[in-house]
Amino acid sequence: MRSADHNRADARGNAREQTYGLRKSAKTPWGNPIVYFFSLVLVAICIVPVLYIIIGAFRSNSQITRSPAGMPNPWVFDNYITVFTSTVFWSELLNSLVVSLGTMIGVVALALMVSFVIARYRFKFSGVLYSLFAAGMMFPITVAITPLYLLLRNLSLVNTHLGIILPQIAFGLPQAIIILVPFLKSIPVELEEAAELDGCSRLGFFARMVLPLSWPGVATVGILSFVASWNAYMLPLFLLNDSSKFTLPLGVQMFSSQHSVDTAQVLAFTSLSMIPALICFTIFQKKIVGGLAGAVKG
């Protein structure tokens, strides 16, 4: 795992270090004021609405009505406390975790296996197999949602978390495979030959060499599928009627329609439900952004 990271970093050399500021270097100059000005404008546009949700929830409803765009004065913590102590929020958080982790594990496991076949085995249908999955990129869940709902109903998976996890795995596969195949292809053949000489079977090679070496790709795929599932709305909307099964996006929508007069509460609920994805992203952002960028750079 270390060596894979190391290799990739080496291959990219300096460009990458400078690019993502992985190494704080005294040489990085201060930019000119115009650059900062436009950057800050861009950042403000991107961040202010998010901050509005988080900070707005520290206000009372009367504060919000009086001055919709103002700052909290005084700061009110009741909204957050109410949400924090409500069982609804925690059960929805748990549901979201179950669904997202299930999806993530499924996507990573299945995509890794089939990508290994596509990348490392020479056989007649390897190209067809890759094309089949790659074509799946063109058809997100929206197109298939109506018949998918009927299919899941026939399998009695309506109102179950499994009914969300399984299709999400299936629809997550194309992207995961497209990311993983180049990773697995880039593992040198010599390594495989050496392993074979040492009496390691192909599957042994898969378990002992490929898994650790493809770790960066696996992490990217895992995080992307986790966040996609965490944010998914349409499939849960179709599939879940029982509000005790709701995931957070459905919960946010239900909460905001039920408490439409209580804006402050809605803001607090919304803000708390977005924080897990934001934390996950902040922790892994170098991996995601770097992995994406690294992938594009080849």
Partner 1 sequence: MNDRMRKRLEITALSLPALIMFVGFVIVPVIMAAYYGFYRWKGFGQPSVNGQFIGLQNYGMILTDPNFHDALKHTLLVMIASLIIQGPLAILFALLLNQKFKGRAIIRTLIFVPYVVSEVIVGTAWSLMLQSTGAVNALLNSIGLPGADWIADPNIAFWTLMFIISWKYIGFAVILMIAGMQSIPEELYEAAMVDGAGFWRRQWSITLPLLGPTIRIWAFMSIIGSLQLFDLVYIVWGQYVAGTAGTSTMATYMVREGRLANNYGYGSAVAVVIFIISLAIALTYQRLVLNRDLDGAITTARGEKERRRKERDRALKHGGGDGGDAEIASEVAGL
- The residues in 250-289 that bind partner 1, with binding defined as CB under 8 A, are 250, 252-253, 256, 263, 266-267, 270, 273-274, 277-278, 281-282, 285, 289
> Residue 154 Cβ, how far from partner 1 at the closest point, in Å?
10
Question: Residue 14: which residues within 8 A CB-CB, separation 6 or more?
Answer: none
Question: Residue 189: which residues within 8 A CB-CB, separation 6 or more?
Answer: none
State which of residues 179, 187, 195, 210 lies at the interface with partner 1 (CB under 8 A): 179
Long-range interactions of 187-195: CB distance < 8 A, separation 24+:
187/120, 187/213, 187/214, 192/120
With beta carbons less than 8 A apart as the criterion, state whether 248 and 230 touch: yes
**Given the structure tokens 């700061």, which residue do they identify?**
75
Question: Which SS3 state, helix, strand or coil, does residue 97 take?
Answer: helix
Cα maximum dimension of the chain: 76
Applying CB under 8 A, the span of 75-83, 107-115, 188-196, 208-216 interacting with partner 1 comes to 107-115
In sign, the C-alpha dihedral spanning 128, 130, 133, 135 is: negative
9 or 295: whose CB is closer to partner 1? 295
**Binding to partner 1, residues 154-173 (CB under 8 A):** 166-167, 169-171, 173
User: d(Cα 126, Cα 210) in Å, to the nearest integer?
Assistant: 18
**Residue 140 binds partner 1 (CB under 8 A):** yes
State which of residues 2, 13, 30, 87 lies at the interface with partner 1 (CB under 8 A): 30
State which of residues 134, 200, 211, 219 lies at the interface with partner 1 (CB under 8 A): 134
Of 169, 54, 23, nearest to 103 by C-alpha is 169
Q: How many CB atoms lie within 10 A of CB 86?
A: 14
Binding mask 111-130 for partner 1 (x = CB under 8 A): x-xx-xxx--x-xxxxxxxx
State which of residues 104, 181, 195, 240 lies at the interface with partner 1 (CB under 8 A): 181
**Binding to partner 1, residues 41-70 (CB under 8 A):** 42-43, 45-47, 49-50, 52-53, 56, 65, 67-69
Structure letter (DSSP) for residue 13:
T
95 or 263: whose CB is closer to partner 1? 263
> Residue 194 Cβ, how far from partner 1 at the closest point, in Å?
18
> Residue 187 Cβ, how far from partner 1 at the closest point, in Å?
12
Q: How many CB atoms lie within 10 A of CB 60?
A: 17
190: phi then psi, degrees, rounded to nearest 5: -55, -35
State which of residues 102, 216, 222, 249 lies at the interface with partner 1 (CB under 8 A): 249
Question: Is omega for the bond preceding 182 within 30 degrees of 0, making it cis?
Answer: no
Applying CB under 8 A, the span of 73-81, 85-93, 110-118, 208-216 interacting with partner 1 comes to 110-118
94 or 109: whose CB is closer to partner 1? 109
74 or 138: whose CB is closer to partner 1? 138
